[in-house]
Amino acid sequence: MIILTPEQMNRLDEYVINKLNIPGTVLMEHAALAVAEKVEKMVEGIPEPKAVLFVGTGNNGGDGFAAARILESKGIKTVTCLFGDPEKIKGDARVNYDIHKAMGLTLLEYGKDRHEEFVRNVQEADLAVDALMGTGFSGTPRYPIDEAIHILNGYAKKVLSVDIPSGVNGTDGSVSTCCVQADETVTFCCLKPGLCLYPGRGMAGNVTVVPIQIPKQAVERMNSTMHFVDADLAREWLPLRKVDGNKGDYGRLTIITGTGGMTGASVLAAKAAYRTGSGLVYLLTDKKTLPVFETTAIEAVKIPIESDSLEEEFERLKSFLDKQDCLVIGPGMGNNERTFRIVRYFLNTDKNIVLDADGLNVLEGKTELLKTSKANIVITPHPGEMSRLCGKSIGEIQMNRLKAAGDFAAQTGVTVVLKGAGTVISSPEGIHMINSTGSAGLSVAGSGDVLSGMIGSLMGQGLPTLKACALGVYLHGLAGEYAADQFTEYGVTASDIIELIPSAYKGAGKNYNRPAGVFDLTCT
């Protein structure tokens, strides 16, 4: 699904209104109809329902005024509470404010002397609508909007936010100290980054994307470089299996292992690769650890490294390595000179490479090797590993994950998979993907090793790099959801995730019902 930034949405609105001659009031009416429809669903079954609408003085407030009018026509009692000077209401919002007043609908203007009255109205309502601020907000809400947010968070039974929860930055998902915690959010036309990136995503509750009759060709003119990886995209990218195929048709993946102590990481990556569809998985391993893998990774083919002269060994194995479709380097290898030598050697090849864990840690202060590499490289850092690579603090990275991943991809020429809630995938060309799946159950040792094996498998099967990364992350997250549903978020192991990869394929391919999640992306 396409994601548009607030700046792109503003340009889209201007184009539709000024070039296509669709009045802004028409767009606002469709937005208000969508809000009213969601309110109806949220109060369904409640006798004589009442909704209170908190509105600001901008277009977000205009949506609220129009929604109140529509709700009254449907028999839902409303109280509209204005936060701000009514003289500041302009344009399309003013049109709907004037209609609201002309119809004699209940309208209260906030002042400190009326605080308790506003609290009482929220307490008496079955639902509160947050139409205070739109997607263009940044910074910290000021009086009286901050008062409105405190009332909503403190007293509302349920909150529906219009377009985005007030207090969430629509561009990067950051939140101020004062932010609406919504149960549901209705957003218009397209997703916004702030609804897809944490912590903003966590404030939005269940998100529904609704059309407001903006023509498809107008949206396409915005040339979006950002996409939300949902079931529809994942389904398009699933690798095809031929009826008459053989194991050689589905990719040769080699995982280069460590020398001991963390051999389980390579085993997890290998098993995940097979569950993701690899035809052949090899473990290139030190001969001393060969017996371990013979009993723990029985499906994988083991290729021993016979001596410590690594470069000579790789030259000896050149004919084998030339046939490999992808290499995974890092899981369980250790942050040491041996690992660095292996990484450096393969960065001088033209292979498809997934670098994870210690395959990344050995490059701290040496990222120039990525910039000069001939290989097609994917890196899969968690925020700590990303911090070591780019020199920024974890806090700075987490504050704007999209920028951190995008900047590093552009600077080094690698594809970045920045792991975490709402994993971000950024290409050197400036294309960004934000993942929709996942659960807290994925926060477990070995989960990253599983992901590196999955991405390596999909690259080996021939998917383009960005699609392989995005699909791998999506399936990994979906398998994690299924595992959490089965074992609870407390009891998930990396092996559980692996065993549920086939179920994730089914879920992506047939649109199975997912466990309760954040996004309802069916356009209404």
Q: Decide: 484 and 492 in contact? Cβ < 8 Å.
A: yes
Q: Token digits for 320?
A: 């084998």
Closest by Cα among 471, 481, 477 to 509: 471
Q: Which 3 state secondary structure label does DSSP give 266?
A: helix
Q: Which 3 state secondary structure label does DSSP give 284?
A: strand
Q: Which residues in the chain come in under a pLDDT of 70?
A: 510-524
Residues 6+ apart with CB under 8 A from 117: 108
Distance CA 202, CA 199 (A): 5
Q: Decide: 206 and 521 in contact? Cβ < 8 Å.
A: no
CATH number for the domain whose boundaries are 6-224: 3.40.50.10260
Closest by Cα among 18, 21, 22, 31 to 58: 31
Q: Tell me, what amino acid is at 9? A: M
Q: Token digits for 151?
A: 């009332």
Domain boundaries in the chain? 6-224, 251-484
Strand pairing class (424-426; 415-418): antiparallel
Output the pLDDT for position 385. 98
Distance CA 36, CA 310 (A): 67
Output the pLDDT for position 512. 42
Q: What is each CA distance from 223 to 2, 235, 358, 432, in whole angstroms? A: 10, 22, 37, 13
Rounded to the nearest 5°, which phi and psi values hold at 136? -85, 0
Residue with tokens 């397209």: 190
Helix, strand, coil percentages in the chain from 3-state DSSP, rounded to 5: 45, 15, 35
Q: Which 3 state secondary structure label does DSSP give 197?
A: coil
Helices 24-42 & 91-102 angle (0-180, nearest 10): 60
Pick the CATH number of 251-484 from 3.40.50.740, 3.40.50.720, 3.40.1190.20, 3.20.20.10: 3.40.1190.20
Q: Which 3 state secondary structure label does DSSP give 274?
A: helix
Output the pLDDT for position 522. 44
